[in-house]
Structure 1
Amino acid sequence: MADDPIPLASLSLTHVHYDPTDHISYLCAWLALIPQGLCVMYATLIWSTREIEIALLFAGQLACEALNFALKRLIKEERPPRMNGKGYGMPSSHAQFVAYFAVSLSLFLLVRHKPPSPRVRRRNHTPMSISERAGWSVLALAVAAAVAWSRIYLNYHTEKQVMVGAAAGTVSAVGWFVITELIRRSGWLAWGLETPIARFFRVRDLVIEEDMCQAGWEKWDDKMTALRAKKKQK
């Protein structure tokens, strides 16, 4: 009849199936949302910091997703028999996504990031040590492994699909790191940052040598130091 309500559809972007009686399954459902959370993080950091390194990292992430889309339709391997998802399963997009991010972050922290030497320490800034950067890298890799494992536990993918996804994400991260390093060394990145459009959007490349909030913190600390000195003079 004309007055019958139209059946509602489910937006599957964040629709994760899990066993409500299993606490581990519930945790895995939250782990499955990490890629969406990382996309929000990318957008927030790109807009708030205007750092070209983060924009390049996100560009590589999108290319990694495009590769996953192509591989799934090229391989056309189905998900597990009692699968909890739609579409092809090889390779796992979740595993590929988080592997790319974790490996890229580790390469940045351990190879590309060159903080000032502790002997040249500024009065209001202590750069991260190599052990701290290694710790963050291990944490990122551990979370990526947990997300990849959760796809098997929730029965969205087989072990092989997750392993191939993680391998594809790792290769994508290393390949994109090499490409961006060549762009940096060739001078094309420095040229791009001097273009009118880059200057209009205040695009910068500071995170290579300092943390993202350092410049703002120095300005704030200098202001507070001046205020304290002014109060003492009264």
Structure 2
Amino acid sequence: MDDPPLASLSLTHVHYNPADRISYLCAWLALVPQALCVVYVTLIWSTREAEVILMFAGQMACEAFNWCLKRYIKEERPRQMNGKGYGMPSSHAQFVTFFSVSLTLFLLIRHQPQASATHTPTTFLQRLLLSVLALISAAAVAQSRIYLNYHTPKQVLVGCTAGGICAVVWFIIVAYLRYSGWVRWGLDTDFARYFRFRDLVLTEDLTDAGWARWEERRRRRDIDGKKRT
């Protein structure tokens, strides 16, 4: 019997012009959504932070919304493109816009880091610069979809608009869940306590990550060592 024809898992399959360095860079930018998913899962597993889990839930809801929009609008990709599926709106543009806008809203509005005895939190200016960097990176990913002829400018613009709207709406929903006590209730459940979910990132600085506790432990260790000598 003849071997069955093989199929390609096109999750990271990107067409680009090997003679064009910008096209090569754009091909790497096309992998940003997959990389962000890895970052999400890694942070959820390592920190168990409620805010990260909620942001990832919003990200997946935004992706589901994009899936529905594509099959409702049914607009084809540019003719030069050999890819499959509908192109309106751009899922890459919508994904990275949701992420960058959500991160910006968190850093500039919801995140209120507090100083400790051993750590000075990031300033508002530093968080603003990080937000601008995230937005610029999202714009680069969105532009790369046009450069590689995966989407038309209109498809990318609609994707960015949809991602931004989803980010703002989800930020408001999470604010309501926090204000009404649903987040606190969820964290008090046996399920959340078993998996050690927490909600510290609102006031704990992003770069601290337990540094104050480590410094205190190190200080006590040095004191105990001097007593023994």
Instruction: Give the match for residue 47 of structure 2.
Output: 49
State whether residues 152 and 158 of structure 1, in contact with CA within 8 Å, keep that contact through their aligned partners in structure 2.
yes
Shift of 1:212: 4.7
State whether residues 96 and 170 of structure 1, in contact with CA within 8 Å, keep that contact through their aligned partners in structure 2.
yes
Aligned residue among 68, 72, 91 for 1:93 = 91
CA offsets 1:11-70 (integer angstroms, 9 cap, x no match): 100000101111000000000000000001111111110000000000000000000000
Aligned ranges 1:209-220 → 2 under 5 Å:
209-212=203-206, 214=208, 216-220=210-214
Shift of 1:213: 6.0
Q: TM-score with structure 1 length normalisation? A: 0.94
Shift of 1:222: 1.3
State whether residues 206 and 212 of structure 1, in contact with CA within 8 Å, keep that contact through their aligned partners in structure 2.
no
State whether residues 115 and 208 of structure 1, in contact with CA within 8 Å, keep that contact through their aligned partners in structure 2.
yes
Runs of at least 4 residues off by over 4 Å: none
Instruction: Give the match for residue 21 of structure 2.
Output: 23
Shift of 1:85: 1.7
- The answer to whether structure 1 residue 199 and structure 2 residue 197 are counterparts is no
Letter in 2 for 1:94: H
Give ranges in structure 1 of 5+ residues lacking alignment. Answer: none
State whether residues 117 and 212 of structure 2, in contact with CA within 8 Å, keep that contact through their aligned partners in structure 1.
no
Shift of 1:123: 2.3
State whether residues 79 and 156 of structure 1, in contact with CA within 8 Å, keep that contact through their aligned partners in structure 2.
yes
Q: CA–CA distance in 2 between the matches of 1:205 and 1:160?
A: 39
Shift of 1:191: 1.3
Aligned ranges 1:121-132 → 2 under 5 Å:
121-132=115-126
Q: CA–CA distance in 1 between the matches of 2:221 and 2:207?
A: 21
Shift of 1:232: 3.1
Instruction: Give the match for residue 133 of structure 1.
Output: 127
Give ranges in structure 2 of 5+ residues lacking alignment. Answer: none
Aligned identity (percent) is: 63
Q: TM-score with structure 2 length normalisation? A: 0.96
Instruction: Give the match for residue 61 of structure 2.
Output: 63
Aligned residue among 162, 168, 173 for 1:179 = 173
Instruction: Give the match for residue 221 of structure 1.
Output: 215
Shift of 1:211: 2.8
Letter in 2 for 1:38: L
- The answer to whether structure 1 residue 144 and structure 2 residue 128 are counterparts is no
Aligned residues: 228
State whether residues 53 and 207 of structure 1, in contact with CA within 8 Å, keep that contact through their aligned partners in structure 2.
yes
